[in-house]
Structure 1
Amino acid sequence: MQLAQARRENLSERREGWGSPRAWLTVGISALSRQDPSSLVHTLVSLYNASSMAEQKRLTVLAHLADSDLTWLKDTTARISTLFSSEILTGQLLLIHAPPAAYPTVSGGHGAKASRGEGYSKNVDHAFLMSFATKLSDYFLLLGDAVFCAPNFVTHIYSKVTALKPSPWVLLEFSNVGLIGKLFHSRDLPVLAHFLLLFHQEKPLDRPILHFRTLLVQEKPILCRPFLFYHRLSRPTSDDKEDTVVPKKNPYGPSNPSASVFTNMNVSGAHFPWEGYTLDESFFWTDDIRPGNHSTVVLNHPARLSRVQVMTGSIVEGKHALSKRQVQLGYDPQGMPQDCGNFVLLGWLLAGQMDWEILQDSTADR
């Protein structure tokens, strides 16, 4: 970690030279080359689209490119440098890469170094990330490299931290998915980084982090609602208004058939149309809804539907629910973007929601 320490001190000197104030929040992301090599870029786009200019002035984004794939490193660095040149020049976006010497020897591996991307090396990836972030800001937010962010998440986090100031805490959770949306005091990062290095073979990564929380005498998790961060299931297509979704099947719950989602509503760039069709806590967010707007789900294959559920608005806060909107079941798809030749009215939204069971005879293979 000596290299990280030296670079961090040099960075602090340069930021002071530019006259930039100390950031209030550092968002830390450890990224690997996976099936979608652009997932980090999409996360950064969502992050900056979801934060105002005033919020960005108090925000530093630190991305650890934790992969040994030189092609991915080169391409990712070049693309981020092109898209976010102003953020990089002002020190608001930092890219780091850990040297091979930062990875400890794997026990029982005949002296071999931990391979990047393996479960235990992720602990080292994040230890390096946290060590570098120690002096960048007052608070540190851990994200993943395939995440989208709720609008004005910085302000929401600031409000929650301010409200909790009289009470001590170690870890605040702004998501209930994995390690994304986990907030720490930056003063705790050196100890946490050292802790992850000591238990670098402990899997999965959230286990030592949660154990660290209990060691610092926060026995119960603090979940902060509404959740502000969600996993991105897939990247958007070249057409921002059409996405294909293949939801995971849950044998104990509803099962959405694979489908494409179309809309003529404004797409923010942070929350895409397909996210309103998934069965996790992701959502499609838009503004300025007008008569004639629609969100249309076109199944990839004919299916027999037994039940249709629609939920709009914030369930936790009870706000932004749609009213006087109808839900139609269409069949005989035609045209591009696809529409249906015939429709059947299923019902109207009541308090922003609808739950309708469908007779099998009326939806056979539609």
Structure 2
Amino acid sequence: MRCSIKHCFRISMLFIFLWLFTILKVLEENEDVKNVVNNHGSKNSSKSLGDWQSITSKYLKEIHQRRKTWLTVGITSESREGQNGLLDTLASLYHASSTSEQRQMTVLVHLADSDPTWLRRTIFHISSLYQSQILTGQLLVIHAPPDAYPTVNNVQNEISQEQIYSKQNVDHAFLMSFATKLSTYFLLIEDNVFCAPNFVSHIRSKVNYRKPSTWVLLEFSNMGILGKLLHSRDLPLLAHFLLLFHKERPLDWLIFHFRTLLAQQSPILCRPFLFYHRLTHFTFENKTLTGHEEDLPDPYTLTGTVYTDMSFSDVHSPQEAYTLDESFFWSYSISSGNYLIVILNNPANLNRVQVRTGSIMDGKYILEKGQVELGYEPEGIPPKCTSFTLLGRLVQGQMDQLILKSVGYEVSCVKLAVNANQVGGLMIRHIYIWGENSRNIKDDQEDDES
């Protein structure tokens, strides 16, 4: 067994390095790739794009004979200090899709960064984690060389808006050009997202529903370029369009304008949204409370573990309800008496608790009837609070409650309880807690007395 795992790992590493090396070699040896971007405003630009398209199509045909899938998920990724957004996104993609859905899907990743250290590290991680997907052709990794990008004049020798536009547009033109013949449909996402469970089936049902009518772009998120679905047959034209105006406009503007040029005047938003950004830095804006509340410390300074008796998938676990990013807990089956509870590692003196349920965009999947309780005196392993006090009931799936000192003293549990059976899913976006560990407070008091 050890030998076979080692053998598969070596094959996958060889495959992905061969893939990247061949792409680099083919593109570097073909002068027309430079002409695509350098002559993007000339009459020959459509010919150059056609050459670029033929290169990628020929490479796919010769290197990897594969069947056409239903959907290609396209991701462009760059290095970001201290972040592993791409790996998290790939994990979410595969965890959120069943085996049958994965057979319908090709994941295409464009590593759009010239840093060799980052490239080697990223390739190593991807090949280590996704050997089977690489070997079966379900996961493809590509890289465009630096000379495939245009030169944007900059007098001040600083990164300009034109350079930012140009880099992003050319990155995605390359991605789309490569993806043209991989599948029937193309889904554009980003490298820092969470995916809803069974997103492939949800997208397929929306496409089937709209088959009698024509469409250019379906949107499964209203955030920038995230979650945009296109026909693969339109990708060569869109890639050409991005190259023509690569430094004039941002990518999202060009994609939406492309949609109108192809006669779809109004956006088609498909709810519920299936993709959400994973935030790197948390920013909290309190717009509901006034007075001295701004002096309270940041939420979630208290460590704890989350438990629930609701059914859930591995994609959106209970712990994701108690984080500061845009992850969330999701359950399909809700009954009266169900609960989700945060058990703090140490008792705390709480000042405030905020609970948010439901989709942030359309308000669906809220907890229709529920309440928040504070628990005390935990016992057992794992610990369970032996007594609870009602803090407040949710109104339209939300609650933001300041806590009296007498009630918030030495709290060990914060429990969200379901008060009625509910049809459909439940999304718990977050539970935020403000407070201080009572153990730390006691230590400080003892230090002062001594």
Partner of 1:130: helix, strand, or coil? helix
Residues 210-234 of structure 1: per-residue CA shift (max 9 Å, x gap):
1111221212111100111111124
Change (3 A) 1:316 1:208: closer
- AA partner of residue 175 (structure 2): L
- Deviation of the 1:130 alpha carbon: 0.6
2:299 maps to 1:257? yes
Partner residue of 2:258 out of 212, 225, 246: 212
- AA partner of residue 211 (structure 1): H
Distance 1:212 1:331 in 2: 58
Q: How does 1:100-115 map to 2 (within 5 A)?
A: 100-108=146-154
The residue that corresponds to 1:9 in the other structure is: 58
Partner of 1:34: helix, strand, or coil? coil
Query: Are the counterparts in 2 of residues 106 and 112 from structure 1 also a CA contact under 8 Å?
Result: no
Distance 1:80 1:35 in 2: 18
The residue that corresponds to 1:201 in the other structure is: 247
- AA partner of residue 372 (structure 2): V
- Deviation of the 1:198 alpha carbon: 1.6
Q: How does 1:227-306 map to 2 (within 5 A)?
A: 227-234=273-280, 247-250=282-285, 252=287, 257-259=299-301, 260=303, 262-265=305-308, 268-273=313-318, 275-277=320-322, 282-286=327-331, 294-296=340-342, 304-305=351-352
- AA partner of residue 216 (structure 1): L
Q: How many residues align?
A: 349
Normalization by structure 2: what TM-score? 0.65
Q: How does 1:324-363 map to 2 (within 5 A)?
A: 327-330=372-375, 343-347=388-392, 353=397, 355=399, 357-358=401-402, 360-361=404-405, 362-363=407-408
- Which structure 1 segments of 5+ residues have no match? 235-245
Distance 2:307 2:253 in 1: 43
- Deviation of the 1:126 alpha carbon: 0.7
Q: Which moved more, 1:48-57 or 1:101-110?
A: 101-110
- AA partner of residue 304 (structure 1): N
Change (3 A) 1:280 1:33: closer
- Deviation of the 1:183 alpha carbon: 0.4
Query: Are the counterparts in 2 of residues 115 and 121 from structure 1 also a CA contact under 8 Å?
Result: no
Normalization by structure 1: what TM-score? 0.79
The residue that corresponds to 1:155 in the other structure is: 201
The residue that corresponds to 2:40 in the other structure is: none
- Which structure 2 segments of 5+ residues have no match? 1-32, 34-50, 410-434, 437-450
Distance 1:209 1:299 in 2: 48
Percent sequence identity is 50
Distance 2:300 2:78 in 1: 27
2:98 maps to 1:69? no
Query: Are the counterparts in 2 of residues 29 and 63 from structure 1 also a CA contact under 8 Å?
Result: yes
Change (3 A) 1:333 1:219: farther
- AA partner of residue 299 (structure 2): P
Please report the RMSD computed on the Cα atoms of aligned residues, expressed in angstroms.
Answer: 4.1
Query: Are the counterparts in 2 of residues 38 and 76 from structure 1 also a CA contact under 8 Å?
Result: no
The residue that corresponds to 2:267 in the other structure is: 221
Higher helix share: 2
- AA partner of residue 284 (structure 2): K
Q: Which moved more, 1:101-110 or 1:260-269?
A: 260-269
Between structure 1 and structure 2, the one with the greater Rg is 2
Partner of 1:127: helix, strand, or coil? helix
2:166 maps to 1:131? no
The residue that corresponds to 2:431 in the other structure is: none
Partner of 2:246: helix, strand, or coil? coil
Query: Are the counterparts in 2 of residues 43 and 147 from structure 1 also a CA contact under 8 Å?
Result: yes
Q: Which moved more, 1:87-96 or 1:203-212?
A: 203-212
